[in-house]
Amino acid sequence: MPPAPRLAAVLTLIAALVATLVGAACSSTPPEPAGPALLLLGEVHDNAAGHALRLQRLHQQLTQGARPALLMEQFDRERQGEIDRLVQAAPGVPPGDAGLDATVDALVKLGGATGAGWTWDFYRPYLLLALQYRLPIVAANVSRGDARGVMQQGLSAGGFSAEVPTDIAAAHAGDIVRSHCGQINPAQAGRMALAQVARDQFMARQVEAYAARGVVLLAGNGHVRKDIGVPRWLGKAARGRATAVGYLETDDPASASPTDADAFDAVIAMPAQQRDDPCNSMRAPAAPQPAARGPGLAG
């Protein structure tokens, strides 16, 4: 489906911004890094303005000398070997070079192979910066197959911790019911919440694994929440270094609530992306379907 006019304009802005930012990387000498930060950047997946703001935040880290690992929810962990091969073979040249652009294309194709429905035009600029600055690109998600296994057999069967605090389980289940427009029952929501916990635990493992060099995690707002998301699964030392930033739509009542704002170390407000009501397709008598990626804090 072609992007709305405002989306197309923001995508053009993102393309211009990343060309400028990465070009500057070739001519400037960054200062010595102040220390490796663990930066957890949330998102509303389809919000173009939010992606542009996060791109600026990443570039700020790079120009200050940081060389963090770029952890991305958009890649499943099974793809890590292929990602590493592509990154290692990528030429260290400015954007516009056919070889570097081809590597980005290959990474996008790799991520799109999961059928998760990500809008990859939003993520290409991050990949381009990561390749130019020679950052590790780290798969931070578990696959749909892994998630189904956790839902059917439990967290421990998938190698995850089954000791889930009740507040985390209840919050995830409630959010899942809301994001599915009330069309699933509590038992279903409870099983689906286990999959969300598995994702958060795996993201936390990846943050810990790359903590020595610093991390920028790109994931849904629900994943980076301090109260129920990735920070709850970090060890004490990493948790103390982590900064969770929520990118929340001002026109979404849920995102604007004080409770949600308190779930982050910082909140960046942005206009809501124009989109159809994801609940419209669920109100007709039919089998329950997952809501479209969109407003709110769901990961």
Write the pLDDT tens digit of every residue in 69-125: 999 999 999 999 999 999 998 876 555 566 788 999 999 999 987 666 799 999 999
The whole-number average pLDDT for the span 242-271 is 78
Residue 269 lies in a domain: yes
Residue 75 lies in a domain: yes
pLDDT of res. 274: 83
Burial class (CB in 10 A: 0-12, 13-18, 19+), 283: exposed
pLDDT of res. 275: 81
pLDDT of res. 218: 98
pLDDT of res. 112: 86
pLDDT of res. 221: 95
Residue 179 lies in a domain: no
Q: How many angstroms separate the CA atoms of 239 and 255, rounded?
A: 23
User: Helix, strand, coil % (nearest 5) of the chain?
Assistant: 50, 10, 40
pLDDT of res. 279: 83
Residue 205 lies in a domain: no
The whole-number average pLDDT for the span 47-53 is 95
Residue 141 predicted with pLDDT over 50: yes
- pLDDT higher for 22 or 65? 65
Global pTM reads 0.81
Split into its structural domains, the chain has a count of: 1
In the chain, what percentage of residues exceed pLDDT 90?
A: 64
- pLDDT higher for 27 or 142? 142
- Over the chain, what is the mean pLDDT? 83
Residue 28 predicted with pLDDT over 80: no
Q: How many angstroms separate the CA atoms of 96 and 131, rounded?
A: 12
pLDDT of res. 34: 40
Residue 184 lies in a domain: no
The per-residue pLDDT for range 185-221, each reduced to its tens digit, is: 889 999 999 999 999 999 999 999 999 999 999 999 9
The per-residue pLDDT for range 160-182, each reduced to its tens digit, is: 999 999 999 999 999 999 888 88
Looking up residue 267, the CATH number of its domain turns out to be 3.40.50
Residue 114 lies in a domain: yes
The residue segments making up the domain with residue 84 are 5-24+33-140+213-226+238-282
- Is residue 147 a contact partner of residue 199, using CB atoms and an 8 Å limit? yes
Range picked from 31-45, 124-138, 253-267 for highest mean pLDDT: 124-138
pLDDT of res. 182: 84
Residue 267 lies in a domain: yes
17 pLDDT tier (thresholds 50, 70, 90): low
Q: How many angstroms separate the CA atoms of 16 and 174, rounded?
A: 40
- pLDDT higher for 283 or 116? 116
Q: Which of 204-213, 247-256, 285-294 has the lowest mean pLDDT?
A: 285-294
3-state helix/strand/coil string of 257-268: CHHHHCCCCEEE
- pLDDT higher for 163 or 283? 163
The whole-number average pLDDT for the span 56-67 is 95
Q: How many angstroms separate the CA atoms of 86 and 80, rounded?
A: 10
Residue 264 lies in a domain: yes
